[in-house]
Structure 1
Amino acid sequence: MNMRRFALLFIAGSALAVPARAQNDSQGAPAVTPCLAASSLRASDLYGTWRVELPQAGLAGTLVLSQHPEFRESLRGHFSYGDITSIASGDVEEGEFNLDESRDGKSLFAFWSGHIQPGSCGNEIRGRWEPLAKAGQPTLSASDFMLRRKKAAATPGGGSHW
């Protein structure tokens, strides 16, 4: 019986020592929070304000993504870059990001096709912006694009704002 009691005490003592050791090893090191794979993200995971960069076109600005008013699993976007404002509608599926941009709310102006960057936790999207040729208007050159999620600033009430 003494041997059995000794074995139980030894096992219990070992179990208590393991968490203490792990806790000591992690002190000073920031906790790493795993994020979803880009292919697992849904439209709702992209809601918020994004920094827009179109390097070849020389444009930069902001995109606000939200739920599409008619299609629950789709995106609605509001662009502001340069002196331009426009709206967009689109989807994200298996890490692929697609928006159709309109400057007048009726006709298609440009396609945004890209991918959520692996390891970015849904905070960076890269791809290609392709404006459509319009009769009687100068043709704009296509450009790579980069979207980076703007971080929410902490507010005194503990919430966040964009």
Structure 2
Amino acid sequence: MPAAAQTPPAQPAHAATACPALDEDPARLHGLWQLTLWLPDGSEAAPVSTGALLFERHPDYPGSVRGNLKRSTEGHDVLALVAGDVSDGVFNLDESADGVAMDAVWTGTPQDCGQAISGIRRPAEGRAPGVPVLQFSLHKAPGGR
């Protein structure tokens, strides 16, 4: 029997592993994400804050998300509203404690086929001095849709 008859045709290597970019399928952002924040000279294993983000479809901007952030820091919990998207492969998020003034901006890179995002959280321009820049990681919670 010829060798070709015994071996199934090869599939392209990317066929089994390809997944759409988050900006092509923004609904994959929806759901619960676990959050870790740490100082730039620190490590994710030694966070300064942990918490969660819940993203939903933004009612006014197709392809964008909005939601709620809750995280613990030393001494208190932080609650905030968030809105953002993934554009050209870059995750962008605005954070606001009061829903009016921006407190922080997040910029990151999706990883692990959109199941993780890592990057930098910076205080928004004009916010209180002394608020540190933080590194972040987001991981889609199991069952988080």
Tell me if both proteins adopt one fold, taking TM over 0.5 as the criterion: yes
TM-score normalised by L of structure 2: 0.74
Is 1:107 equivalent to 2:90 in the alignment? Answer: no
Can you give the 5+ residue segments of structure 2 that lack an aligned partner in the other structure?
A: 9-14, 40-46
Can you give the 5+ residue segments of structure 1 that lack an aligned partner in the other structure?
A: 1-9, 20-31, 153-160
- The DSSP-based 3-state class of the residue aligned with 1:69 is coil
Q: Name 1:130's counterpart in structure 2.
A: 122
Identity %: 31
Q: Distance in 1 between matches of 2:18 and 2:115?
A: 11
Q: Name 1:89's counterpart in structure 2.
A: 83
Q: How many residues align?
A: 127
Q: Considering only CA atoms, is the larger Rg found in Structure 1 or Structure 2?
A: 1
The alignment's C-alpha RMSD in Å is 2.6
Q: Return the offset for 1:77.
A: 2.4
Q: Distance in 2 between matches of 1:41 and 1:79?
A: 24
The letter of the residue matching 2:94 is D
TM-score normalised by L of structure 1: 0.67
Q: Name 1:80's counterpart in structure 2.
A: 70
Q: Return the offset for 1:72.
A: 1.5
Higher relative contact order (Cα pairs below 8 Å, separated by 6+ residues): 2
Q: Distance in 1 between matches of 2:79 and 2:38?
A: 18
Q: Return the offset for 1:61.
A: 0.1
Q: Larger % of helix: which?
A: 1
Q: Distance in 1 between matches of 2:50 and 2:59?
A: 26
Residue pairs, 1:1-162, within 5 angstroms: 15=5, 18=7, 33-36=16-19, 38=21, 41-56=24-39, 58-82=48-72, 83-117=77-111, 120-132=112-124, 133-134=126-127, 137=128, 139-152=130-143
Q: Larger % of strand: which?
A: 2
